[in-house]
Chain A
């Protein structure tokens, strides 16, 4: 496979995955805040700030009043904001376009339909009453795309590269959500540790990651900071966990490079190392310093992505 095209496929996977997480974050936060159990979590300004924080663009002025329509438009449909959902999908399609000869007609057609849906979605509807429909549709379309990726592509290098993109991005987005919700939980605790531990924000976080039901089934208790983090970071059986994503990346990179020789400069080596680190982590270690942990894992993910780039997309 051409190195350039592999790069396109990798980023196609990442942009597809990213658009889903951003869409669901908007949806879940907006709608669960409506009947949140405390005033802080119900506060519209609080929710909008959380959204901006999650996409990496936090509002720095503590007293600035944010207009709901502006924030939703910016993150959802603003063509001039590079991290907006619309741009994620545009980039996903552009990357698919230049790899068009390698992906299946079915996958391409699904991406294309997705693109046309987003590009033609009316702005006024979106900011007034379309948020639910739009974000739900985006999430569903990404499910369809993942289905097409799994079901209509040979499970060879093409599939491995896309899957690596998807899973690195998933781990990244889950971590970003944890970061945002951790921040929200801190802000809404009013200095009470117990309130932080049992914050409503952990439930929201699990819903953002579509993991609430799974988590309830597994722990059979109201989520707390420690159980939520354990589930979303370390539980290998939770399909949205960082651990699960790393396992997937590990499995797919081996398809590209089945070599078993010791080579500390390879992507396989780096991924294996990061994976092992989290595989044998105590949640208590994480709980001691959540903030540093989040920074570390984001850095590890960036390192993995850079390594993939260096080993496979450059020549």
Chain B
């Protein structure tokens, strides 16, 4: 079945221990990839190299770049883009989509609860420390009813496929998840470079994101507003995600504002236009909680708007996402997601959580100590990957040291099985060939009043360094166009 003349894949090496997205266990191309595999096979690697370069310069000329600060100059880099798309069949997508909605809704109910009656704490489903020790829990949000009852209007769910072939969620990003503009740019770039492959597949569009986002943002308008005025607020053009902010504003057809363009008067928010003040009703904010209002939060912030929070609390403006949502994308909350889903929705989780062992529980502590080589040990209160030990990479002495630390303060640690992200053929510049690279997928879910939307596609991020599991762009990650096939 494998096409031997397919020179583009002739040197592709498969590691049998890894889950390859396009090959099955027997080394055969999976059905959904068959046509694409053959179509790409019609090109020589030289064609491919030139197409790849064209796509890159297209990104560069469009200014879809992020800035890297060097010693004495600023360099513009493009977010590396791979021309070989990832395909998700309708069956898998159904799971991902339903799972993303389920998690977003459960998190929304969780947020409502912990800022109101706190029943989930009283019922001891999650520990009280989740809010008392979280820097992201905003006391000011207690008792506030956000318009439409929505906190996490926009969620980015990071999903991976493990080598058991199942999808697992690694993280729920519900502060200011970014990356959606790349989904659309990747699609545009791929269409330009390889338009011929598209008519062989029935792929869902991704360009409808902005109109859906706008519709759902309008659905959570403040009370008494007829046609809401929506804006996107950005920290400014030097922010690494500025391209995305301007892209979203432009495609929604709304203003992109900075804090200095807005002011608050009598608890209403206005923007300064060439024709005088204009009232603003819904703000899609891409500024973190601490910076939105210097009079209420970080007083040194020059990005925010003095008085904005008072206007919000009075119900005169909607902020999306709501202030204080950050408490629910804590690592600690993640570990309770299955319980949170069951508690609020009375459903089984559709997407798997990576199982978490709490060392504070004696039986789980015992398991962790016995199976430390198969586990990742994480401190509960550290962010940004600090203090993480990966069991199978530790020396004997290090294992003993980690064990001793866990025993000394078991409450401080959790452990998770070591996951293996699936791999996907990815074009590698240095070797001018396709190689296996680890991928994940970020989906984008938008919650509105009584309505939700999941972008049928997503950002497939690729760890471009061989063997690397970290897909972040700051760590040399790239991305792929992601095709969700129609049923």
A–B touch (CB < 8 A): the answer is: yes
Q: How far is the CA of A3 from the CA of B260 in the complex (A)?
A: 11
Q: How far is the CA of A312 from the CA of B249 in the complex (A)?
A: 22
Q: Among the listed stretches B270-278, B379-387, B416-424, which one makes contact with chain A, having 4 or more residues with CB under 8 Å of it?
A: B270-278
B: interface residue count bin: 20 to 34
Contact of A108 among B63, B242, B273, B277 (CB under 8 A): B63
Question: Are A112 and B261 in touch, CB under 8 angstroms?
Answer: no
B322 contacts A by Cβ under 8 Å: no
CB closest residue in chain B, given A98: B237
Q: A2-B255, A2-B271, A101-B249 are in contact. Are A315 and B276 (CB under 8 A)?
A: yes
A256 contacts B by Cβ under 8 Å: yes
B249 / chain A contacts, CB cutoff of 8 Å:
101
CB closest residue in chain A, given B262: A2
Question: Are B63 and A2 in touch, CB under 8 angstroms?
Answer: no
Question: Are A4 and B260 in touch, CB under 8 angstroms?
Answer: yes
8 A Cβ contacts from B229-256 to A: 236-237, 242-243, 246-247, 249-250, 255-256
Contact of B273 among A3, A97, A102 (CB under 8 A): A3
A234 / chain B contacts, CB cutoff of 8 Å:
none
Residue interface mask B255-283, A partner, CB < 8 A = 1: 11110110000000001111011000000
Contact of B246 among A101, A112, A157, A313 (CB under 8 A): A101
A3 / chain B contacts, CB cutoff of 8 Å:
261, 272-274
A78 contacts B by Cβ under 8 Å: no
Contact of B261 among A4, A97, A116, A256 (CB under 8 A): A4
Question: Are A112 and B61 in touch, CB under 8 angstroms?
Answer: yes
A101 / chain B contacts, CB cutoff of 8 Å:
246-247, 249-250, 255-256
Q: Give, as a whole number of angstroms, the nearest-CB distance from B472 to chain A.
A: 24
CB closest residue in chain A, given B236: A98
A113 contacts B by Cβ under 8 Å: yes
B13 contacts A by Cβ under 8 Å: no
CB closest residue in chain A, given B254: A101
B62 contacts A by Cβ under 8 Å: yes
Q: How far is the CA of A108 from the CA of B61 in the complex (A)?
A: 9
A38 contacts B by Cβ under 8 Å: no
Question: Are B63 and A312 in touch, CB under 8 angstroms?
Answer: no
Question: Are B61 and A1 in touch, CB under 8 angstroms?
Answer: no
A100 contacts B by Cβ under 8 Å: yes
B273 / chain A contacts, CB cutoff of 8 Å:
1-3, 315
Q: Give, as a whole number of angstroms, the nearest-CB distance from A101 to chain B.
A: 4
Q: Give, as a whole number of angstroms, the nearest-CB distance from A104 to chain B.
A: 9
Looking at A5, A6, A109, A315, the one whose CB has the most chain B CB atoms below 10 A away is A315
B247 / chain A contacts, CB cutoff of 8 Å:
101
Contact of A100 among B246, B271, B276 (CB under 8 A): B246
Question: Are B62 and A109 in touch, CB under 8 angstroms?
Answer: yes
B242 / chain A contacts, CB cutoff of 8 Å:
97
Q: Give, as a whole number of angstroms, the nearest-CB distance from B277 to chain A.
A: 7
A276 contacts B by Cβ under 8 Å: no
B256 / chain A contacts, CB cutoff of 8 Å:
5, 100-101
Q: How far is the CA of A29 from the CA of B61 in the complex (A)?
A: 33
Q: Give, as a whole number of angstroms, the nearest-CB distance from A226 to chain B.
A: 41
Q: Give, as a whole number of angstroms, the nearest-CB distance from B89 to chain A.
A: 33
Question: Are A94 and B237 in touch, CB under 8 angstroms?
Answer: yes
Q: How far is the CA of A281 from the CA of B456 in the complex (A)?
A: 66
A112 / chain B contacts, CB cutoff of 8 Å:
61-63
B60 / chain A contacts, CB cutoff of 8 Å:
116
CB closest residue in chain B, given A96: B63
Q: How far is the CA of A98 from the CA of B261 in the complex (A)?
A: 12
Question: Are A6 and B63 in touch, CB under 8 angstroms?
Answer: no
Q: Give, as a whole number of angstroms, the nearest-CB distance from A133 to chain B.
A: 20
Q: Give, as a whole number of angstroms, the nearest-CB distance from A304 to chain B.
A: 16
A100 / chain B contacts, CB cutoff of 8 Å:
63, 237, 243, 246, 250, 256
8 A Cβ contacts from B43-85 to A: 60-63
Q: A3-B261, A101-B250 are in contact. Are A256 and B274 (CB under 8 A)?
A: yes
Contact of B63 among A5, A98, A109 (CB under 8 A): A109
A152 contacts B by Cβ under 8 Å: no
A94 / chain B contacts, CB cutoff of 8 Å:
237
Residue interface mask A1-26, B partner, CB < 8 A = 1: 11111100000000000000000000
B236 / chain A contacts, CB cutoff of 8 Å:
98
CB closest residue in chain B, given A100: B246
Question: Are A1 and B274 in touch, CB under 8 angstroms?
Answer: yes
CB closest residue in chain B, given A4: B261
Q: How far is the CA of A2 from the CA of B257 in the complex (A)?
A: 8
A157 / chain B contacts, CB cutoff of 8 Å:
274
**19 cross-chain CB contacts under 8 A:** A1-B255, A1-B273, A2-B261, A2-B271, A2-B272, A2-B273, A3-B261, A3-B272, A3-B274, A97-B237, A98-B236, A100-B246, A101-B247, A108-B62, A112-B61, A112-B63, A116-B61, A157-B274, A312-B274
| Interchain residue pairs A-B with the least CB separation, the first 5 | A101-B250, A101-B249, A315-B272, A100-B246, A101-B256
A-B contact sample (4 more), CB < 8 A, given A2-B272, A100-B256: A1-B255, A4-B272, A100-B243, A102-B250
